[in-house]
């Protein structure tokens, strides 16, 4: 499936170039347009077929290596390394181009190489993290000793007793024993310092209705994806509608670091 995209671009490019050959004498503007569109499609297709992950050609290479080794992690590692080799090649050619007088083209090639190198490294790290998280659930690493605060707690008290004293950046807010929202440092900063004495946690919290929550039985990979999608650093964990813990990016990072060090 991966190779379909680049091949489609190449086929379309070939069709446009053929039309250019046939129609260039009939209409110069039309011929110029066909040549331009054909060249763009051919260039795009050939570029994406370069065997460097995460380009389409690199994904094809990874599929082949995966088929040979039966290991997704090893296949992604070697495909990512191939991507880095391609990236370094672009950077080297770009530097030579700069010293040869082609400043703009050289800078573009260096930029493309830098982008490919970062993309290859990030892709492997993401896959490695997913591999380490596989088979583990939110309930295994979530924070269970989260001290909840009453909804009517003044923000000044929250800052003094919880955020500064305990180093907490977010706290569950409860009312009549029910979880109603999450208070974060960002929410507190929405109010001026002079207001903290008479503003309450309820006023500054993110209401439960606006929160993305997760279950203890959910996979850690799923939780990390949710955090990335929503751009948040924590997820309240609910069981049968009741708050049972808090999962943070720090929890996941610590887990990944320890598991990687222990090779567990």
pLDDT tens profile 111-129 = 888 988 888 888 777 777 8
The answer for residues whose C-beta is within 8 angstroms of residue 75's C-beta and 6 or more apart is: 62, 63, 65, 66, 68, 69
A 10 A CB-CB count for 257 gives 11
Q: Both 102 and 165 in a single domain?
A: no
Q: Are 205 and 233 in contact (CB under 8 A)?
A: no
pLDDT in tens, 84-94: 888 888 899 99
Domain co-membership, 109 together with 146: no
More confident residue, 7 or 253: 253
If one counts every other C-beta atom within 10 angstroms of the C-beta of residue 166, the result is 10
Q: How far is CA 184 from CA 25, 40, 47, 142, 188, in A?
A: 68, 48, 45, 17, 7
Same domain assignment for residues 257 and 211:
yes
The residue segments making up the domain with residue 34 are 1-49
CB–CB of 206/181 below 8 Å? Answer: yes
* 11 and 25 fall within a common domain: yes
pLDDT of residue 150: 93
Same domain, 169 and 92: no
Q: Are 57 and 79 in contact (CB under 8 A)?
A: no
158 and 242 share a domain? yes
Confidence category of residue 1, pLDDT binned at 50, 70, 90: low
Tokens of 114: 């830098």
Last residue of a domain, one of 133, 149, 165: 133
Whether the bond between 54 and the residue before it is cis, its omega within 30 degrees of 0, is: yes
Mean pLDDT of 141-157: 88
Q: Which of 163, 140, 147 is nearest to 214 (CA)?
A: 140
The 8-class DSSP code of residue 135 comes to: T
Q: What is the pLDDT of residues 49-80, one digit of tens each?
A: 777 777 777 777 777 777 777 777 777 777 78
User: Is 76 within the bounds of a domain?
Assistant: yes
More confident residue, 6 or 84: 84
> In this structure, are 207 and 240 located in the same domain?
yes
Q: pLDDT category, 7, cuts 50, 70, 90?
A: confident
Q: Are the C-beta atoms of residues 168 and 125 closer than 8 Å to each other? A: no
- Which of 133, 151, 170 corresponds to the end of one domain? 133
Question: Where does a domain end: 106, 133, 160?
Answer: 133
Average pLDDT over residues 205-220: 91
Q: pTM of this prediction?
A: 0.61
Asked whether residue 146 falls in the same domain as residue 253, the answer is yes
């Amino acid at each position: 499936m991966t190779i379909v995209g680049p091949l489609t671009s190449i086929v379309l490019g070939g069709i446009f170039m053929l039309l250019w050959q046939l129609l260039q004498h009939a209409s110069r503007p039309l011929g110029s347009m066909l040549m331009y569109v054909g060249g763009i499609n051919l260039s795009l297709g050939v570029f994406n077929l370069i065997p460097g992950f995460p380009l389409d050609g690199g994904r094809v290479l990874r599929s082949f290596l995966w088929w040979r080794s039966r290991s997704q992690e090893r296949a992604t590692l070697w495909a990512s390394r191939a991507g880095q080799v391609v990236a370094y090649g672009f950077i080297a050619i770009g530097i030579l181009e700069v010293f040869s007088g082609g400043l703009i083209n050289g800078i573009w090639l260096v930029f493309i190489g830098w982008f490919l190198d970062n993309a290859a490294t990030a892709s492997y790290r993401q896959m490695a993290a997913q591999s380490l998280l596989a088979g583990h659930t939110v309930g295994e690493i979530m924070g269970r000793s989260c001290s909840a605060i009453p909804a009517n707690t003044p923000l000044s008290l929250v800052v003094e007793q919880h955020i500064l004293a305990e180093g907490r950046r977010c706290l569950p807010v409860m009312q009549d024993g029910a979880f109603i929202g999450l208070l974060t440092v960002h929410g507190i900063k929405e109010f001026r310092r002079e207001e903290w004495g008479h503003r309450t946690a309820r006023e500054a919290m993110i209401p439960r209705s606006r929160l993305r929550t997760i279950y203890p039985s959910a996979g850690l990979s799923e939780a990390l994806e949710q955090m990335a999608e929503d751009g948040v650093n924590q997820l309240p964990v609910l069981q049968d509608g009741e708050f049972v813990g808090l999962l943070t990016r720090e929890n996941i990072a610590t887990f990944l670091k320890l598991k990687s060090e222990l090779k567990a």
